[in-house]
């Protein structure tokens, strides 16, 4: 038996007794996360311990092999106020001070401002408060003329405490999700790999598996453009399978008493018609999720996050795997008389 001291930064997190080959990194992560979640939920810590708890979270993610820069940004701060999360928005006292005379120009206001400072900075200045002075001059009218001023944002203790409380809440949410991953990740990963195998084989037969490869490759990117490409690749899967699975030459299809257009530009309706012809009902997974997959993938055209793209990819796999499981994936080429009308 050996004893290892796990460290993060200059903070010792915990001592782990290790049998040869045991415990696994996932088990260590689970223990650390369980301790972290318990402390956060029971409020068994002082606010000054928040950096240590952040480092516990970072250590756990490294053990799980998860790349997440969130905790690092919280500890180091958001340089230049860029990409500051919404929970770091809070009121501050704002005034403009003339560069030359030092006089306050105009009114002193209370405004919603971004708290980009690091957790360590906020803790060290929490009780006394602080004033942030912006370097870039701002022209303001004063005494009948324009004068150069600088923006001053003053922060008091209660305002800082609100931000620290929100950061703590965000840490609790993330640690809870990571704990679920540590406990059930291996099972989920096995199931997902089975899905990938069945989906990949069937799509290979259809000749459109490249879209999923594109989605997975772009999901591993580090910018919004890559994540958007991943989500849109999932959308293209739905569009392409419509032409592979629906091969009936008609304009409209009678789907349970409701006529829908199945022209070439109505790809989603073609997939719906295929599923109806194969006997799927509204409660079956492919029917239930197809609109969600398409809507979320299409929404990526305007805005897309890593989490959003990842969800689209997972649900796309779910849709395809269930479609493969519940149908034969053979194209519909003929339908019974009266179920269609018009010719393309």
Do 299 and 293 meet the contact criterion of CB atoms below 8 Å apart? no
- Predicted TM-score (pTM) of the model is 0.50
Tell whether the model's pLDDT for residue 142 goes beyond 50.
yes
- What does the pLDDT look like over 242-296, one tens digit per residue? 888 898 888 888 888 889 898 888 988 999 999 998 999 888 888 888 888 888 8
Q: At 319, phi and psi to the nearest 5?
A: -55, -50
Do 110 and 93 meet the contact criterion of CB atoms below 8 Å apart? yes
The pLDDT of residue 20 is: 42
Beta bridge partners, 104, equal: 97
The pLDDT of residue 14 is: 40
Torsion of CA 272, 274, 279, 284, to 10 degrees: -40
Q: How far is residue 275 from each of residues 20, 109, 244, 264, measured CA to CA in Å?
A: 53, 60, 13, 17
d(CA 260, CA 246): 14
d(CA 311, CA 43): 32
Q: How many CA atoms lie within 13 A of 186 on its CB side?
A: 8
Q: How confident is the model at residue 217 (pLDDT cuts 50, 70, 90)?
A: confident
The residue with greater pLDDT, 338 or 158, is 158
pLDDT > 90: percent of the chain:
21
Q: At 112, phi and psi to the nearest 5?
A: -75, 125
The pLDDT of residue 314 is: 81
Tell whether the model's pLDDT for residue 338 goes beyond 70.
no
Tell whether the model's pLDDT for residue 9 goes beyond 50.
no
Name the residue with tokens 């990409």: 83
Residues in the chain: 344
**Selection from 274, 253, 277 nearest residue 320 by Cα:** 274
Tell whether the model's pLDDT for residue 40 goes beyond 50.
yes
User: What DSSP designation does 327 have?
Assistant: S
The pLDDT of residue 324 is: 86
d(CA 186, CA 64): 11
Query: What's the chain's average pLDDT?
Result: 82
- Comparing 106-110, 196-200, 211-215, 233-237, which segment has the lowest mean pLDDT? 196-200
């Amino acid at each position: 038996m050996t004893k290892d001291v796990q460290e993060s930064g200059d903070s010792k997190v915990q001592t782990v007794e290790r049998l040869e080959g045991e415990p696994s990194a996932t088990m260590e992560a689970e223990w650390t996360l369980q301790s972290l979640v318990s402390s956060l939920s029971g409020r068994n810590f002082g606010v000054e311990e928040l950096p240590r708890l952040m480092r516990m979270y970072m250590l756990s993610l490294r053990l799980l092999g998860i790349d997440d820069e969130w905790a690092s940004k919280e500890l180091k701060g958001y340089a230049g106020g860029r990409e500051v999360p919404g929970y770091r928005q809070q009121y501050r006292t704002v005034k403009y001070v003339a560069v030359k005379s030092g006089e306050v120009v105009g009114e002193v206001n209370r405004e919603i401002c971004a708290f980009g400072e690091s957790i360590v900075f906020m803790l060290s200045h929490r009780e006394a408060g602080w004033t942030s002075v912006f370097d870039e001059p701002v022209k303001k009218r004063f005494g009948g003329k324009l004068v150069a001023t600088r923006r001053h944002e003053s922060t008091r203790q209660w305002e800082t405490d609100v931000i620290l409380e929100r950061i703590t809440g965000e840490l609790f949410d993330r640690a809870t999700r990571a704990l679920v991953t540590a406990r059930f990740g291996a099972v989920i990963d096995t199931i997902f790999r089975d899905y990938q195998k069945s989906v990949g084989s069937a799509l290979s037969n259809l000749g459109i598996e490249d879209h999923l490869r594109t989605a997975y490759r772009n999901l591993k990117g580090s910018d919004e453009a890559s994540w958007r490409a991943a989500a849109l690749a999932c959308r293209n899967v739905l569009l392409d399978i419509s032409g592979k699975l629906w091969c009936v030459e008609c304009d409209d299809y009678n789907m349970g008493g409701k006529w829908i257009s199945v022209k070439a530009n109505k790809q989603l309706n073609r997939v719906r018609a295929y599923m109806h012809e194969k006997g799927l009902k509204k409660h079956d997974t492919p029917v239930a999720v197809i609109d969600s997959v398409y809507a979320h993938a299409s929404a990526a055209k305007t805005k897309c996050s890593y989490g959003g793209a990842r969800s689209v990819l997972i649900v796309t796999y779910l849709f395809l795997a269930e479609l493969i499981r519940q149908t034969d994936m053979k194209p519909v080429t003929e339908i019974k008389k009266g179920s269609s009308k018009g010719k393309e």
